[in-house]
Every structure is written in structure tokens, then in C-alpha cells.
Amino acid sequence: MLIAIPELIDHAGVARVRGLIDAGEWVDGNVTSGRQSALAKRNQQLPEDSAAAREAGAIILDALSQAPLFIAAALPLKIFPPLFNSYEGGETFGIHVDNAVRLRRGSDLRVRSDLSATLFLEEPEHYDGGELVIEDQFGLQQVKLPAGHMILYPSSSLHKVEPVTRGRRVASFFWIQSMVRDNEARRTLFDLDMSVQQLGERVGQDDRAIIQLTGVYHNLLRRWADS
């Protein structure tokens, strides 16, 4: 499933993140590429161990912890520390699939990539191209969101970034290991959670049927979740 998380960070938060990363030392984006991705990838990236990436990443992780829609959709168990990339002057990332397991250099952190996330950090009118194109069961989905908004999608999806022909596209990207490995089970839980919340607003959270449905949600989560 593709889920847009609007305004994960506000304008002030975007400015804080950009102030940190724009002052960092950018390098060839293939420093984190696998063999297949390296053939398709042309962009710039902040080294994952740079002070700027760590500090900016902490801002994003804090925002994620306070985002109910993200938590409901991802059911996160582990989050790979956010990385940052930049595209300009025709740079692009051809069609590829993300590695199944991401390793944090210099640590024992291993994250199974159930979900991929892109947080846009530049307003869409400031650059041409740069759409994130994701192949899902409904065909090709093109995503280009306002700064501070994020898209969440299965890491198993084929996806690409279209060439940036004007301006500069800046974003954060990272991976999530969900408590629920199966994408369809996770989608079922998300749909149930959203429906229970909407019904609860209409009839009241203390309605017996809402309480029973909430119990169904948590019993399914117990059945499917890893911890």
C-alpha cells in the first residue's frame, strides 16, 4: 500500500533540517548502493555517519514517533536512521528494488526493509522532474509531494526517480521493519484501525461494538506481530 503522511514536519522543521544538511559535505550517492542499484543511480548523498545526517535524522525520527498515521500504517519495530539525497542537472535513479536487509555501517543494526519512506524536503514548484515512480498492483504511481510530506510504500516495489531537469530535489529516505511482516496483513490492520476510529467519532468510543472491534484489531495484531 502507498500511504501519504502529510506534514510530517512543518515549515520550521523543514528549515531546520535543510540548514543542517545543506551545510554538510555531499558525496556520490553510490556509497550506499548495492551492485544492481549502482548501475542505475546518479545522485548526491550525505554520508550516513556525518554529523549533519545524524542531527537532521534525529529531528525526523522524533517527528515519526509523534505521527499517529505513520505508526498506524507502518507498525514500526525498527527504523533505519534517515539518509539524505539530492538530484539536479539530469541526475536520476533508474528502476530498482531496495535491498531486503539494510546494515548500519559500524554497528550491529540490521533492519529488514518491509517499508520504504521518502520525505520530501524541497517544494515541488522549485524543480522539474524528480517524481518518485512506484509500480504497485494498480499500475504506475507518480509521487511528488510538498516539503515536509512523506510517502510510505512497500520496499518490495519496483521504483525509480525521474531525472531532475531544473532546480534541485532534496529528500530524506529510510526503511522500516514492521512488527507485521506481511504487507496484506498490515493493510488489513490499517484499514480496520482507520474504520474503528471513524466509527468511534460517530457513535462514541465507549460504544460496545467499537470496543469489540478494537479487541478484534488487537487480537489480530497479537497473532501477526513479531516483537
Question: What distance in Å separates the CA atoms of residue 27 and residue 44, rounded to the nearest whole number?
Answer: 5
Residue 41 confidence (pLDDT): 86
Per-residue pLDDT of 130-139, as tens digits, reads: 999 999 877 8
Question: What distance in Å separates the CA atoms of residue 166 and residue 147, rounded to the nearest whole number?
Answer: 17
Phi–psi pair at 106, nearest 5 degrees: 75, 15
Which amino acid, 210? I
Question: What distance in Å separates the CA atoms of residue 6 and residue 55, rounded to the nearest whole number?
Answer: 22
Per-residue pLDDT of 206-224, as tens digits, reads: 899 999 999 999 999 999 9
Per-residue pLDDT of 180-205, as tens digits, reads: 999 999 999 999 999 999 999 999 88
Residue 33 confidence (pLDDT): 53
Cβ distance 101 to 111 under 8 Å? yes
Kindly list the domain boundaries of the chain, sorted by start residue: 3-178, 183-224
Per-residue pLDDT of 48-106, as tens digits, reads: 999 999 999 999 999 999 999 999 999 999 999 999 999 999 999 999 999 999 998 87
* Cα→Cα distances 191→13, 63, 147, 195, 201, Å: 29, 23, 27, 6, 16
Domain 3-178 sits in CATH at 2.60.120.620
* CATH topology agreement for domains 3-178 and 183-224: no
Question: What distance in Å separates the CA atoms of residue 200 and residue 56, rounded to the nearest whole number?
Answer: 37
Per-residue pLDDT of 105-133, as tens digits, reads: 878 899 999 999 999 999 999 999 999 99
For residue 140, pLDDT beyond 80: yes
Question: Using DSSP, how many helices (H) and how many strands (E) does the chain show?
Answer: 6, 17
One of 1.10.3470, 4.10.860, 3.30.160, 3.40.50 is the CATH number of 183-224, namely 4.10.860
> Which of 45-49, 132-136, 146-150 is most confident?
146-150
Question: What distance in Å separates the CA atoms of residue 227 and residue 138, rounded to the nearest whole number?
Answer: 31
Mean pLDDT of 133-162: 94
